[in-house]
Amino acid sequence: MEWETVIGLEIHAQLATNTKIFSGASTAFGAEANTQACAVDLALPGTLPVFNESALRMAVMFGTAIDAEIGKVSVFDRKNYFYPDLPKGYQTSQLFYPIVGEGHIDIELEDGSTKRIGVTRAHLEEDAGKSLHEEFASQTGIDLNRAGTPLLEIVSEPDMRSAEEAVAYVKKIHALVTNLGICDGNMAEGSFRCDCNVSVRYKGEELGNRTETKNINSFRFIEKAIKGEVIRQIDILEDGGRITQETRLYDADKDETRSMRSKEEANDYRYFPCPDLLPIVIDDEYIDTIRKALPELPDVRRTRFVDTYQLSAYDAGVLSAYKPLSDFFETVATISTDAKLSVNWVMGELSKHLNQHDTDIKNSPVSAQQLGGLLQRIKDNTISGNIAKKVFEAMWNEGGTADEIIEAKGLKQVTDTGAIEKIVDEVIANNQKQVDQYTAAEPDKRGKMIGFFMGQVMKASGGKANPGQVQGMMKQKLDALC
């Protein structure tokens, strides 16, 4: 019988509020440890939480974007457990009446098909602090700056059947929350992370025991953790063992999951309604106002990019997934008036440099206006594509506009027919062996051979000769010798 993988995901997205969900303490990342945890976050005696309405609005934005039911009455509960970085001894969350009910996300698969993944719920809760181990030999440090940061926990149905589907779903959620502006999506900083619930079964049988691998903060690690866990579970079952329902951690260095603790059920947490917070009551007008103000969503933008710019489905999907990248591309395309050239440079040379320097598009040294100006100079034959790469490199390292760099470095393309013809004649005269091979070759094979002569002309001109003119002139002269 064939094994089948069953995957459900719990995504934790830190909401992009300025202050915490129940206090006025800052949510900014990177502050000195324990400098952004106020008396409310620490649950000191006599303090009372005050709910942050911005978190509610962001949760409703997400719910309307996935066509989910919105809870007009939602209630906060206390989830009781003891952990060093949980100063209250409980987490304020939503169990029985979440703000967002059932919805769905459509993911695109590698074969071009789509699959609908159900979203069970999305509820608001406060984040815990952070336990630090690396800097303390045989000890644990506690940083409570993160305690009280608003989280939206997005819980899927167990609808995914492979690690690839799971990653596609996580990427889709990531694109959605970042485009909505409700989460910065920074996985390295932990503001977007995922718990993976994985089980295996023979097809058609009941669900098997699942394990939950906690707090994975990389698309690549999500895929590797799921694949490794599937192999581990199948090996155990085929050896006659049974899967223990437990919480596990993924070790990226060893590329394996390891046991953390036995998996708790909801009643183990002793949930009860939070006595310090009233139920949240909203009406249709509140929900409709938020729905009407939603920005353009990634799926809509992808379709528009295909229709308006005639982009491929792949290119449109990549560009539309991240709004800063979408905005950058559209600015470049508007300035250059050439969408195909723009997408080639944004996804080619620009993306290569961003990856090499581990830089986000928002921090690119080359602005959209600069790149658009560079592409204008390609289109009007001021420079060739190869010279444009040199100009781009100078822009990246030194700044300046394309026109300034072209002028300062003398990179303007040679388009004078007489000057180009002189170089072409010299190349033909100096490479008699290659000329003889060209004239002796079958006509259908000469096209590939002309590349040698093109390279010699471009080398002699310092890369400044217009490639189109060179190719046409060179072919004409060589064919005349045949």
Instruction: Return the domain boundaries, the chain.
Output: 3-287, 296-409, 417-481
For 57, residues 6+ apart whose C-beta sits below 8 A from its C-beta are 290
Long-range CB contacts for residues 39-47, cutoff 8 Å, separation at least 24? 40/148, 41/87, 41/144, 41/147, 41/148, 42/87, 42/88, 42/144, 42/147, 43/87, 43/88, 43/89
CB–CB of 250/257 below 8 Å?
yes
Residues 413, 383 contacting (CB under 8 angstroms) = yes
The structure tokens 């995504």 sit at 11
Phi, psi of 404 (to 5 degrees): -65, -40
pTM of the model: 0.83
| pLDDT score recorded for residue 385 | 86
Query: Using one digit for the tens of pLDDT, what is the confidence trace for 46-96?
Result: 999 999 999 999 999 999 999 999 999 999 999 998 888 898 999 999 999
CATH architecture of the domain with residue range 417-481: Orthogonal Bundle (1.10)
DSSP string of 327-356? Answer: HHHHHHHHHHS-HHHHHHHIIIIIHHHHHH
pLDDT in tens, 385-405: 888 999 999 999 999 999 999
Extended beta strands in 177-312, E state: 192-202, 211-216, 246-251, 256-262, 272-273, 280-281
Sign, CA dihedral 355-360-364-367, equals: positive
Q: Does 416 have pLDDT greater than 70?
A: no
What percent of the chain clears pLDDT 90, i.e. is strictly above it?
Answer: 71
pLDDT tens track for 192-228: 999 999 999 998 899 999 999 999 999 999 999 999 9
What's the pLDDT at 218? 94
pLDDT higher than 70, residue 464: yes
Contact 120, 102 (CB under 8 A): yes
How confident is the model at residue 27, as a pLDDT? 96
